[in-house]
A and B are shown apart, each in its own frame.
Chain A
Amino acid sequence: MARCMMTDKARRLSGRIRPGLPGLSVLALAMSVTSGSVSAHWAYVSNEKDDTVSVIDTETNEVVKTLEVGERPRGVTLSHDFTRLFICASDSDTVQVMDVSNDSILFELPSGEDPEQFALHPDNRHLYIANEDDAIATVVDIETHEVVSQIDVGVEPEGMAVSHDGKYAIVTSETSNMAHWINTETQSIVANTLVDQRPRDAEFTPDDKQLWVSSEIGGTVSVIDTETREITQKISFEIPGVTRDQIQPVGMEITDDGTLAFIALGPANHVAVVNGESLEVIDYILVGRRVWHMALTPEQDKLYTTNGVSGDVTVIDVASLKAEKTIKVGRYPWGVTILPKAHIPQ
């Protein structure tokens, strides 16, 4: 899913038992899924060309409702207490805040122009927003609804991430080919790391020791050391029968224990699975057309991918690394975030 993943991750790390991967516990979970008790979360999927958000029940894997939102919704994320859904309504130039309990829009945040992706600081208060058309990043206080700061960044800011310890916010700029490191205390840029062409997503490893940045046109994922802010390794991809030009890494998801990473490869229509330690690609999973972003369930047993061109969501079983089901949603699904079962309104 969008950079909004940081949110989910920070929350997941804060209080939940993490199953080993792939092990017996996953199997046990999978079995209990069939008994219908564990995995009934809600996946919120933004449909960029329909101005809607589809809500999928992860037990039945069916769309349970479709919500009308602002124009061109892209990034979606949940507050750390799971009461609110934040939606980047890019063409409405706003971030909408939805009350999860009744689907009403509570208020809109002053996001700056053309918000695309965002990340919520672990303080559950500061939302970092990339303003794609304006070469700035906007920091909004979600309590006071005020803009705390606007930071000049490179051309077409896109990906957003906040480290789990809250020290850094990262924004990637697509045409400047940089990851900008923002000190969240001073709200100023402290470093810039040049990466390959058209960086999209940024993701910290769970221990914050590495920052991963995907480059859509460069076709690589740069693994950056958080201390030196220099690239230590580049991961590249090769799929038989798919030309190199089609391999365009976009969204990334790293499991909570850091053992696996999933990289959405856009028009290659595959998700790459990377070993978090050796950084080797261990598998490619065929999904729908032009896969954008992904979200893992809290149990880490299922991965939901948004497939823009085919207008659907693929469910991947993490233990077997197999695609299990395709769910039709709206036109051009883009972002996805998952609301855990315990927080679903009754």
Chain B
Amino acid sequence: MNQLERLFSAPSSMTRSCPCGPCGLSGGRRRIGTVQNRLMRLAGLCLAMLTSSVYAQQDKLVIDILYLEQRLAHPPVLSNLVSWPEDEGERGASLAIDDNNTTGRFLGQDYTLEPLIFEPDAEPQARNDRIRAELAKGARLVVANLPAADIDAIASLPEAADDLLFNAQSMDNVLRNEQCRSNVLHTIPSRAMLSDALAQFFVKRKWEEIFLIEGNTDKDKAFADALRASIRKFGLDIVESKTWIEDADMRRTASTEVPVFTQARDYDVVVVTDEDQDFSQYILYNTWLPRPVAGSAGLTPVVWSPVIEQWGAAQLQSRFRKLAERDMTSRDYSNWAAVRSIGEAVTRTGSVNPAEIRRYVLSDDFELAGFKGAPLSFRTWNGQMRQSVQLVHPRAVVATAPVEGFLHPVTELDTLGLDEPESRCEQFNQP
């Protein structure tokens, strides 16, 4: 599957020493991770490695959060407009560190973010050793931006047994189901939550017949699987399902290719899965029948977008822009939500112990205001953060799911994604 998983399955030598050589004493800890420079990051890391993850200094409660990211090479795409910010995720976590510290100054709390970021070409063995060494340093709070296989592999390490990981990137359903782990919470939604949100909207609009176009990557297949499940769940129909053929520069040929490709007797909406934004933008306005497009283009389900401004969201947007000089994405938001969840739990419990934080955030007492109306909380059966999903186009919010009318005995937010009765997650509440 993945290099990391393979490597972790073999015994690997683990180092507990600082690989950077003598790098100074504790004290001058770098705050907030605002410095982009990699050298600085390395220096900060070295300092961090000489100290325990959580410690009291001058009556201050210091909460050190490990930000773990494996950057991925993005595949080439047709449009020159598609770009992925390199610091996506990390800026969201940094903003939440700022927010936590603004509150923390009244409570004697000091939050720091310790970034451990690996480039796509990082040497796997060295990388894995570094991660194991970090996790071995006591009970850690970790915000993880990793592919699904890495999350699974890292959470299963003996070094991670006393840690608490917040998955802020991987949307794979399986991590919330068969592969769930008791030490992993998920602040990014599962694909099932996104596809359920779309399906609820289709039901409301009576767009019952769906033309599904599936992209070619594993992510696109996973999103299409989630959509098929949601379409079944909400009683909709797939009238035609096709896999995209990637063999032309759609920028020039879309007007001739797409109409032919989308020929069918009738459908209400075209749903396309293309998470890397390669071809989906060229489907709009080129379909055989004049129908709306949803999924990865057109009407898209997200947990955050610059167009969200209700519920005080405008404030979070402007704070983020001030910090990052760009717009906030769903992944930035998921990282923000992870670090803010930690802040809220530390404030309310006075504890920095991962086990205590896990207990608190899963309790009825935990709520986090997330600028999306209903408060954020975590599902007790698989650790998924409950949150609304916004259906947006590039300039406006079209609808918010749960869509009005979809009821649930506990909370309507649980109409999105894997609900308790259907959960196949068994390990989450295993000690």
Contact = CB atoms under 8 A, between A and B. Distances in A.
A230 B318 CA distance: 33
Interface stretch (B170-178, B189-197, B365-373): B365-373
Interface in B333-378: 344, 347-348, 367-369, 373-375
Interface in A266-299: 267
22 contacts: A132-B315, A135-B102, A154-B106, A155-B102, A156-B312, A156-B315, A173-B103, A176-B99, A176-B103, A177-B103, A177-B347, A178-B103, A180-B106, A197-B375, A198-B369, A216-B369, A217-B374, A245-B373, A245-B374, A245-B375, A245-B412, A245-B413
Given A194-B347, A217-B367, A218-B375, A245 B411 contact: yes
Interface string B271-313: 0000000000000000000000000000000000000000010
B127 interface: no
Given A194-B347, A217-B367, A267 B318 contact: no
Interface of A: 132-133, 135, 152, 154-156, 173-178, 180, 189, 192, 194, 196-198, 216-218, 243-245, 248, 267
Given A180-B106, A197-B369, A243-B412, A174 B347 contact: no
A194 B343 CA distance: 13
B367 A197 contact: yes
A152 to B, nearest CB: 7
Contacts of B367: 196-197, 217-218
Contact of A217 (B99, B106, B375): B375
B232 interface: no
A155 B375 CA distance: 17
A180 B315 CA distance: 20
Contacts of B318: 133
Interface string B87-123: 0000000000001001101110000000000000000
Task: From B103, B344, B411, name the one whose CB has the most chain A CB atoms within 10 angstroms.
Answer: B103
Contacts of B375: 197, 217-218, 245
A244 B107 CA distance: 30
Contacts of A135: 102
A289 B329 CA distance: 30
B399 to A, nearest CB: 15
A175 B412 contact: no
A91 B411 CA distance: 36
A277 B348 CA distance: 29
Contact of A154 (B103, B312, B315, B411): B103
A263 B412 CA distance: 25
B130 interface: no
A217 B371 CA distance: 9
Contacts of A189: 106
B228 interface: no
B319 interface: yes
B376 to A, nearest CB: 9
Nearest to B340: A175
A194 B412 CA distance: 28
B400 to A, nearest CB: 11
